[in-house]
Chain A
């Protein structure tokens, strides 16, 4: 569905279904440089199992217009504004990577609207290497290569994709190559600059689930341990063999973790 958020056209995937405020709602927030379709299997499941689904394209990503948001707090507020525009008072927010930081910040800044948060492939601090950040700043293709390679477990280029016939590296690259100049840099910088993690984690009142890839090179599970401890009501699931792209590398395990958490 299309709507206007912050004065710009915004898009949220709903699996083609109408939003009904009487049903529970789940917002999915993608990571750096990506879009709503990264959640394809998981978002579709919840849309067909009783929930309103809003898999958003953040500004300047996918089908949403506008400029990329420059901070994690701005992303969290944008998600809140999108839900408010749809008159949805409360939602579970599921985020991946940059989107996971935004989900955390959403729960801290808008506790009344946060039903639950699921943080997939998260680390804090989420520092981005100088080489990666610099390549993105220069709009150098090397930044896309780094996100593609580091964004998957080491065995992915040689292993089988759970999604028949698809090549995970190629799919990630094709998505990144559609970005306008500067968008990936803005996303990475927002992750790199985010400094409120522990403070915000301490303010989270709702239940939180961490879903972490055992072979994640970008946000290794040990880098989430501080946040896991800092959120009072949290649980954690580790997906064996998966790297940072959990929704593609371990789609069933990720979905099962979300079903268990969101249905609880």
Chain B
């Protein structure tokens, strides 16, 4: 553009959402560890409750420290705003509960985190919200399952466990033709590797526990709205476009236009479901975001070195990383993820469950635990942990083999990671 320019990503990661504290001059984001905020007088209190003035009332609804994280994530993603939540799962639940009632229907990718699959496939079904799961490999699969009561299309930008790349532009086009929004879980890509709103997604969320925080000390989520979906024009979302008895007969779209979704998510969702983020958690996640633009390139660089090493080792079978030419989404990844495909991936170890067990136990640098996106490298062997009770046949139906290992590549010296994996692969080979 000719004329003014926006601040760059790196600057926003450090500054967006916070000026030096006007009361104290503190440069770092203060932790406003308080449940509630004093009203100036009775009229001020009434105006805050009736949304005539901006401000904070009670930290379940909003808090100054949490608001910095929300505004910063909205800035990094190019959205109108955000709502921080107690976890990534809380963010997904908040999105769904804001958009639909019992009788609603979701078309979701099969390539989802297990917790998301449980929420959509089992728990929400108990409350009358049905989900049809489709392979994300062909966007037309989403189109085929859209019904009259469909209110949302949903997928992960990089899906579990095979790193299926969601064709965001194609699925967004299908969603918009049906008058419904596309929600994506962007946890594995972060705004550094992909900007889903620029590709057509309408809503997104992160498990902030992972790369955003990066240090593995805090559980949190953040739900961001692009503000681009026209709820009124769609006509399918009375939750946002008709007077709501549960909030002073407010018509959220009429009241706030582009902010309608977030207004209801905050004023109803946080108020009633209560899955808010604590100020200390927001502070901790903000410390991570301030270096996101430095960490992500290193995560990707290390992941590429590890993938190259594994690809040359005879003890390793299939590697599911989209930068490899044999990955089915290789070309799509090159188009949508030019900065890299992240640092979480799976590979198959020759030798089955026993090889997997030996491999895990021989590792010294990688930590064996159930998380991803940490600065430290992590590993898990699903067949001996999260999926221990499943038969090999059932595992296969989930896209997991008895020797499948998932790695989350951290920020250590890549040579140390390669050495650690080499030793563990040698140990695993003895199982055969």
Contacts and interface: CB of A to CB of B under 8 A. Distances in A.
A180 to B, nearest CB: 12
A160 B18 contact: yes
B77 to A, nearest CB: 8
Interface stretch (A21-29, A92-100, A144-152, A222-230): A144-152
A41, A162, A163, A174 — which one has the most chain B CB atoms within 10 A of its CB?
Answer: A174
B3 A170 contact: no
Contacts of A260: none
Nearest to B249: A16
Contacts of B75: 157, 167, 169-170
Given A142-B2, A157-B6, A170-B75, A175 B47 contact: no
Contacts of B5: 149
B79 A167 contact: yes
Contacts of A177: 228
A37 B62 contact: no
Given A37-B256, A167-B80, A174 B228 contact: yes
Contacts of B17: 159-161, 167
A9 interface: no
Given A165-B81, A171-B81, A252 B54 contact: yes
A150 B5 CA distance: 10
Closest 3 CB pairs of A and B: A174-B227, A167-B74, A165-B70
A112 interface: no
Interface in B62-92: 62-64, 66-68, 70-71, 74-75, 78-84
What is the interface residue range for chain B against chain A? 35 or more
B60 interface: no
Interface in B208-233: 226-228, 230, 232
B131 interface: no
A146 B6 CA distance: 10
Contacts, number: 159
Interface of A: 13, 16, 35, 37, 40-42, 44-45, 48, 62-63, 131-132, 135, 141-142, 145-146, 149-150, 155, 157-167, 169-171, 173-175, 177-178, 251-252, 255
B67 A164 contact: yes
B1 interface: yes
Given A37-B257, A170-B81, A171-B80, A162 B55 contact: yes
B56 A158 contact: no
Nearest to A132: B3
A248 B50 CA distance: 17
8 contacts: A132-B3, A158-B15, A164-B55, A166-B259, A167-B74, A167-B75, A177-B228, A251-B53
B199 interface: no
A241 to B, nearest CB: 9
B352 interface: no
Contact of A165 (B2, B16, B82): B82
Nearest to B69: A165
B258 A175 contact: yes
A136 to B, nearest CB: 12
A159 B52 CA distance: 22
A146 B4 contact: yes
A160 B7 contact: no
B27 to A, nearest CB: 12
B324 interface: no
B196 to A, nearest CB: 14
A165 B257 contact: no
A142 B251 contact: no
B28 to A, nearest CB: 14
Contacts of B331: none
A236 to B, nearest CB: 23
A45 B47 contact: yes
A16 B4 contact: no
B73 to A, nearest CB: 9
Contacts of B255: 13, 37, 40, 44
A44 B52 contact: yes
Interface in B339-383: none
Nearest to B68: A160
Given A157-B12, A255-B53, 9 more contacts: A16-B254, A132-B3, A135-B1, A146-B4, A157-B6, A160-B17, A160-B19, A164-B63, A252-B53
Contacts of A48: 50, 52
Contacts of B66: 164-165
Nearest to A178: B230
Contacts of B83: 165
Contacts of B67: 160-161, 164-165
Contact of A35 (B3, B79, B243, B257): B257
B262 interface: yes
Given A40-B255, A142-B1, A149 B79 contact: no
Contacts of B56: 164
Contacts of B52: 41-42, 44-45, 48, 255
B26 interface: no
Interface string B307-319: 0000000000000
